[in-house]
Amino acid sequence: MGSSPSSSSMQATLEARSPRLHLAGVGPSWFGGHQVATQISNAMHLLFPAGERFFVRSVLHYEDRLSPGLAAQVRAFCKQEGRHAQAHERFFENLRARGYDIDAILARYEHTAFAVVEKNLPPALRLSITVALEHFTAMFAADALSRGALDHAEQEMADLLAWHAVEELEHKAVAFDVLCEVAPSHALRIAGLLFASAGLLSFWLAASRALLAADGIGVFDAIRALRTSSTPPLTGPNALWGGLLEYLHPDFHPNDVDHSALIARTLADLRTREVIAAPGISGTSRRRTHRRSEAVAATTGAAEDA
Ligand SMILES: [Fe+2]
Ligand SMILES: [Fe+2]
C-alpha cells in the first residue's frame, strides 16, 4: 500500500465527545415519516455497537507494535468508537419499549459475526475487515452530511447521526494506518473488503427484514415502498460505488479526500445548538454550565434554549 502510515498520527488529537441526546422520545417513523426507510436505518443502528467493539479489538491487538503517534491515535479512536456504541445502545431501549424483539436479532448477529467468524479469522484479516468497514462508515457519513439526508430525520436522531458521522470522518484513517504499519498488503486489504461487504450486506438485510416483519411488512412490499417519491434520501449508490472504486486502487488512502470543511461545518452546527460542548469543555462541565444557566433563566424568566 503506497500511502503514508504516519498521516493519521499527524492529525490533531481526536476528541471523544459526549453529545446531549434525548432518544427516548424518538418516534416510530423518525426518518422522513417513512416506516420502511426508518426500519432499514434502525437495522443499521443494531449493527453499530457490536461492530464498533470489534473494530476496537482489531486495532488494539496491534497497539504494542505501533509508533507512539499512531498508538495515541488508536487509543483516541477506541474512545470515540466506545461512545458511539454506548449512544446507539441507548436508542435500543426505544426499540425495546416499542415491543421489537431486538435481543433475538442481536443474539443471532453477535453469535455468527463474532463468536463464530471473528474467532476463526487471523488478526491481520480482522484488521483488514475493520479498515474496509471504516471506509464504508466514512462513505456513509460523508454522503449523509453532504446531501442533507439528516434534514429528513427527527432532530434527536439527526444529532446522534451527525455527531457519529463527523467522528467517523475525523478518524477515518486510523485503522488504515495501523494496517499500513503492521501488514502492508494490497491483497490483504482487498480480502478484507470482500469479507466486510458480504458481512455488512447480509447482517443489515437480515436485521432489516426482521424489523420489517415485526411490522407485518414483507420484502416485496418494502421494495415497493422504497420506490415511492416520499422516500427520504438513503445513502447514495453513486457515492458508495465511487468510494469502492477508490478503495481498490493500490495507492488509496482515506485522507485522499479532504473532509475537513464538512467536519468543521457539522461541528459548528452541533456546538451552536449545544448538542456537543466547545473543545476543552467536558460533558460534565457543560451539563453543570447548562443547569446553572437554566437556573438563572428560571429566576429571571428569560427564555432558555434547551
Ligand atoms: Fe463509530
Ligand atoms: Fe469508526
Predicted local confidence at residue 298, as pLDDT = 36
Q: How far is the CA of 216 from the centre of ligand 2 (A)?
A: 33
Instruction: Give residue-wise pLDDT tens across range 17-54.
Output: 999 999 989 999 999 999 999 999 999 999 999 999 99
**CATH number, domain containing residue 42:** 1.10.620
Residue 143 sits in the same domain as residue 224: yes
How close is the Cα of 306 to the center of ligand 1, in Å?
26
Q: How confident is the model at residue 35, as a pLDDT?
A: 95
Cα dist from 92 to 24, 38, 177, 187, 239, whole Å: 9, 14, 32, 37, 29
DSSP letter at 259 equals -
pLDDT tens digit string along 52-78? 999 999 999 999 999 999 999 999 999
Place of cell 455497537: 49
What does the angle CA 9 – CA 145 – CA 247 come to, to the nearest 5 degrees?
Answer: 55
In a domain, 243, yes or no: yes
Q: Do 300 and 152 belong to one domain?
A: no
Instruction: Give the SS3 label for residue 214.
Output: helix
pLDDT at residue number 231: 85
pLDDT digits (tens, 9 = 90+) for 83-137: 999 999 999 999 999 999 999 999 999 999 999 999 999 999 999 999 999 999 9
**Rounded to the nearest whole angstrom, what is the distance from the C-alpha of residue 54 to the centroid of ligand 2?**
11
Which residues, in sequence order, are CB contacts of 206 under 8 Å at separation 6+? 105, 108, 109
The percent of residues in the chain predicted with pLDDT above 70, rounded, is 86
Distance CA 157, CA 163 (A): 10
| Ligand nearest to the backbone CA of 137 | 2
Domain span at residue 57 reads 21-275
pTM of structure: 0.87
Q: What is the pLDDT of residue 289?
A: 42
184 Cα: distance to centroid of ligand 1 (angstroms): 24
Residues 160, 250: Cα–Cα separation, whole Å: 34
**pLDDT over threshold 70, residue 286:** no
> Which residues have C-beta under 5 Å from ligand 2, the single-atom ion?
168
Residue 72 to residue 84: CA distance in whole angstroms: 19
- Are 130 and 267 found together in one domain? yes
Residues 258 and 305 grouped into a single domain: no
Q: Are residues 148 and 237 in the same domain?
A: yes
Asked if residue 144 has pLDDT above 50, the reply is yes
Instruction: Output the CA 24–ligand 2 centroid distance in Å.
Output: 24
What pLDDT score does 281 carry?
61
* Residue 4: inside a domain: no
pLDDT exceeds 80 at position 172: yes
Residues 153 and 290 in one domain: no
In a domain, 1, yes or no: no
For residue 52, how far is its CA from the centre of ligand 2 (angstroms)? 7
Please report the pLDDT score of residue 1 as a whole number.
55
- Give dist(CA 102, CA 95) in Å, integer: 7
Q: How many CB atoms lie within 10 A of CB 169?
A: 20
Q: Are residues 303 and 199 in the same domain?
A: no
pLDDT at residue number 290 = 44
Same domain, 291 and 246: no
Q: Which ligand is nearest to the CA of 135?
A: 2
Output DSSP code: residue 285: H
Query: What is the number of the ligand closest to the CA of 58?
Result: 2
Q: 267 and 129 in one domain?
A: yes
Any bridge partners for residue 31, and if so which? 153
Q: Answer yes or no: is 289 within a domain.
A: yes
In a domain, 2, yes or no: no
Nearest ligand to the CA atom of 82: 1
Quick: pLDDT tens for 206-255: 999 999 999 999 999 999 999 887 888 777 667 778 888 999 999 999 99
Give me ligand 2 centre to Cα 286, in Å: 25
296 and 156, same domain (yes or no): no
Q: Any idea which residue has 446507539 for its cell?
A: 88
- 65 Cβ neighbours under 8 A, 6+ residues apart: 181, 182
Question: Which ligand is in closest contact with the Cα of 77?
Answer: 2
Is position 13 within any domain?
no
Site of grid cell 454506548: 86
Q: Quote the ligand 2 centre to 115 CA distance (angstroms).
A: 21
CA–centroid distance, 80 to ligand 2, in Å, is 8
What does the alpha-carbon distance between residue 152 and residue 158 come to, in Å, rounded to a whole number? 8
Q: Using the mean position of ligand 1's atoms as its centre, give its distance from the Cα of residue 87 in Å.
A: 10
Q: What is the Cα 58 distance to its own chain's centre? A: 16
Same domain for 269 and 289, yes or no, is: no
Tell me whether residue 256 is in a domain: yes
Q: Is residue 145 part of a domain?
A: yes
User: CA-CA distance, 176 to 134, in Å (whole number)?
Assistant: 8
Q: Cell digits for 223?
A: 421494495
Q: Do 157 and 218 fall into the same domain?
A: yes
For ligand 2, the distance from its centroid to the CA atom of residue 237, given in whole angstroms, is 20
Average of per-residue pLDDT across 279-304: 43
Q: Number of structural domains, the chain?
A: 2
CA of 290 to the centre of ligand 1 (A): 26
Q: Residues near 70 by Cβ (< 8 Å), separated by ≥ 6?
A: 5, 6, 8, 9, 174, 177, 178, 181
How far apart CA 67 and CA 10 sit, in angstroms, is 12
Residue 242: what pLDDT? 83
Q: In angstroms, how far apart are the furthest CA atoms of the chain? A: 65
How many angstroms does the Cα of residue 302 sit away from the middle of ligand 1?
38
Ligand at shortest distance from the CA of 136: 2
